[in-house]
């Protein structure tokens, strides 16, 4: 337990620290356990999907694309996955180079592939987080979004790639284009910091991945004409689909009001103005503010990809508790819990306040270093 009380600028009370993770992670772990007990003999959950839905799309996509199926044809894709017992609504809309990842894992039986995905992603995030966090890095696997590891979250891999990129890896930045929207502000940060070699490597890796995937699957045109159309329809659909309850953007919060795009623009501009104040920070110091701002700027994002938001605020609470006032502590705890608060539609305001707290903490650190 010594990691819980390591010396820093301030110490968060142990009970607050434990409850912070426990209250947020335990419900998902219990829910996952109940779902596992309900699986049938073919690894299909009570919701009619293979256990680990996020990963099941990767596995299905790679396997079916290798068999020559156009996985961006929604009707054909759904018909094909029914053969595996998956009756829930699913579609494949990731960029075509993600199929390379799915194809490699599709050679394994599904349960084994899911285990490899979850274990490999956990190890990657542990290693990527280690230089950033002042507490035991295994705790990052209990942040709100990643407590859903049994569901095959892509957030493990993308969060790890993001942190590796923030440490200077152009290769990681290139692989992050598998979920390109999560790297938009990362790319901007690299440009502002004049990391041109890293940008060149990222572009080269991306082009290589796209060329290899086109050579193997030939689905680039299908993605541009069908995959992107499917993604656009996610936001434009008129009915209140369940997935809107896991989308944290201001656009989603104010759907049907006529103010959704105005609100999204206002929140995005405010976030970018705050983020600009970090321009003198090192790339590694920018990591968590950029992660927070990403989910404010994007109209299309999901709570299960927000691991780095929670990790960033866990660091602030752990290392700066004593110097935070009570308002800052409350904001940081709410921002840490943001992936579990998405359905309340208050997350844009919580994250905007959280980004301001991140700025205040960074400025205090900078002033302390100057005084020292």
pLDDT category at 243 given cuts 50, 70, 90 is confident
**Inter-residue contact 178 to 98 (CB < 8 Å):** yes
Q: How many domains does the chain have?
A: 1
pLDDT for 10: 56
Closest CA to 24 of 232, 313, 218, 281: 313
Instruction: Report the C-alpha gap between 330 and 350 in whole angstroms.
Output: 10
Condensed to tens digits (0 to 9), the pLDDT of residues 188-205 reads: 999 999 999 999 999 999
pLDDT category at 238 given cuts 50, 70, 90 is low
Condensed to tens digits (0 to 9), the pLDDT of residues 118-158 reads: 899 999 999 999 999 988 888 888 898 887 776 777 888 99
Q: Which two tokens stand for residue 367?
A: 């002033």
Containing domain of residue 62, as a range?
Answer: 2-371
Instruction: Report the C-alpha gap between 264 and 330 in whole angstroms.
Output: 24
Q: Which two tokens stand for residue 50?
A: 């293979």
Sign of CA dihedral 65, 69, 72, 76: negative
Instruction: Report the C-alpha gap between 194 and 191 in whole angstroms.
Output: 5
Mean pLDDT of the chain, nearest integer: 88
Question: What are the backbone angles phi and psi of residue 44, rounded to the nearest 5°?
Answer: -95, 130
- Strands (E) across the chain are located at none
Condensed to tens digits (0 to 9), the pLDDT of residues 269-318 reads: 999 999 999 999 988 889 999 999 999 999 988 888 999 999 999 999 99
**Inter-residue contact 261 to 251 (CB < 8 Å):** yes
pTM score of the predicted model? 0.91
Q: Is 256 left (phi over 0), alpha (psi -120 to 50) or beta?
A: left
Cα torsion 267, 273, 279, 282 to 10°: value is -30
Instruction: Report the C-alpha gap between 118 and 33 in whole angstroms.
Output: 16
Question: What are the backbone angles phi and psi of residue 69, rounded to the nearest 5°?
Answer: -80, 140
Q: Is the pLDDT of residue 239 over 70?
A: no
**Inter-residue contact 71 to 90 (CB < 8 Å):** no
Question: What are the backbone angles phi and psi of residue 148, rounded to the nearest 5°?
Answer: -95, 25
């Amino acid at each position: 337990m010594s990691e819980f009380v390591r010396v820093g600028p301030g110490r968060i009370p142990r009970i607050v620290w434990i409850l912070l993770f426990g209250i947020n992670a335990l419900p998902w772990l219990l829910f996952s356990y109940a779902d596992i007990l309900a699986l049938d003999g073919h690894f299909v959950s009570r919701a009619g999907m293979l256990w680990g839905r996020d990963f099941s799309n990767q596995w299905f996509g790679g396997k079916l694309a290798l068999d020559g199926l156009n996985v961006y044809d929604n009707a054909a894709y759904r018909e094909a996955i029914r053969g595996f017992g998956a009756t829930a609504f699913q579609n494949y809309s990731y960029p075509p180079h993600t199929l390379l990842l799915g194809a490699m894992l599709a050679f394994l039986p599904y349960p084994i592939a899911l285990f490899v995905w979850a274990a490999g992603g956990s190890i990657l995030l542990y290693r990527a987080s280690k230089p950033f966090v002042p507490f035991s890095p295994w705790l990052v696997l209990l942040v709100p979004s990643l407590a859903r590891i049994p569901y095959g979250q892509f957030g493990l891999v993308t969060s790890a790639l993001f942190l590796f990129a923030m440490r200077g890896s152009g290769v990681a930045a290139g692989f992050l284009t598998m979920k390109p929207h999560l790297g938009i502000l990362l790319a901007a940060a690299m440009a502002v910091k004049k990391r041109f070699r890293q940008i060149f490597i990222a572009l080269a890796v991306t082009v290589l991945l796209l060329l290899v995937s086109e050579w193997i699957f030939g689905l680039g045109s299908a993605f541009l004409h069908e995959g992107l159309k499917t993604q656009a329809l996610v936001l434009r659909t008129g009915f209140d689909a369940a997935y809107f309850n896991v989308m944290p953007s201001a656009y989603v919060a104010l759907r049907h009001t006529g103010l959704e795009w105005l609100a999204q623009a206002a929140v995005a501009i405010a976030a970018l103005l705050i983020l600009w104040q970090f321009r003198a920070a090192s790339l590694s110091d920018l990591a968590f503010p950029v992660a927070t701002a990403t989910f404010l700027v994007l109209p299309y994002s999901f709570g299960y990809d927000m691991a780095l938001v929670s990790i960033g605020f866990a660091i602030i609470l752990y290392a700066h508790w004593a110097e935070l006032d009570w308002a800052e502590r409350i904001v940081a705890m709410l921002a840490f819990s943001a992936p579990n608060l998405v359905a309340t539609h208050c997350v844009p305001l919580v994250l905007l306040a959280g980004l301001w707290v991140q700025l205040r903490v960074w400025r205090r650190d900078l002033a302390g270093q100057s005084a020292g």
